[in-house]
Amino acid sequence: MIQGMQGLLDSMEALPYSLQKNLIVRELRKGGQVIADEAARIAPRDDNDDDGFHMADSMMVVVSDQTFEGAVAKIGPSRKGYYGIFTEIGTIYVAGKHWLRRAFDSRIEEVTRTIGEGLGRAIEKEMKRL
């Protein structure tokens, strides 16, 4: 079993770069989904909306900026839920509700654990194949 972050990083370096990248992207998506699910749960809802669409229904996780050093998970509403920025940070007329930030803050430890454990399992599985 891989112990600690340094052990995880050392083990990761033994894998081919393309495999490292795939593992990181997969686990970032899983971790990001934890935050997206929480954000969807606490996002403001407009029950008077005629089309029945709620910003919470458009939460997504996109992994981008993949480099040798890592990748970035972007979490938030899709283009259809563009107005989420206004409910998150506010406007000159309305204070922000910071629902996405609260989702991040309340789940980041779970996300870190999810990603670390997932990478550990995936690395061990791949090391057995080598």
pTM reported for the whole predicted model: 0.84
Q: Return left, alpha or beta for 73; rule: phi > 0 is left, psi -120 to 50 is alpha, else beta.
A: beta
Instruction: Name 57's Cβ contacts closer than 8 Å, sequence gap at least 6.
Output: 40, 81
Domain count, the chain: 1
**Could you give the angle at which helices 99-129 and 4-13 cross, rounded to 10 degrees?**
50
Contact 119, 12 (CB under 8 A): yes
| Model pLDDT for residues 72-125, shown as the tens digit of each residue | 999 999 888 888 888 899 999 989 999 999 999 999 999 999 998 998 898 888
| Model pLDDT for residues 12-69, shown as the tens digit of each residue | 788 888 888 888 899 999 999 999 999 999 988 776 666 666 778 889 999 988 776 7
pLDDT in the model for residue 10: 76
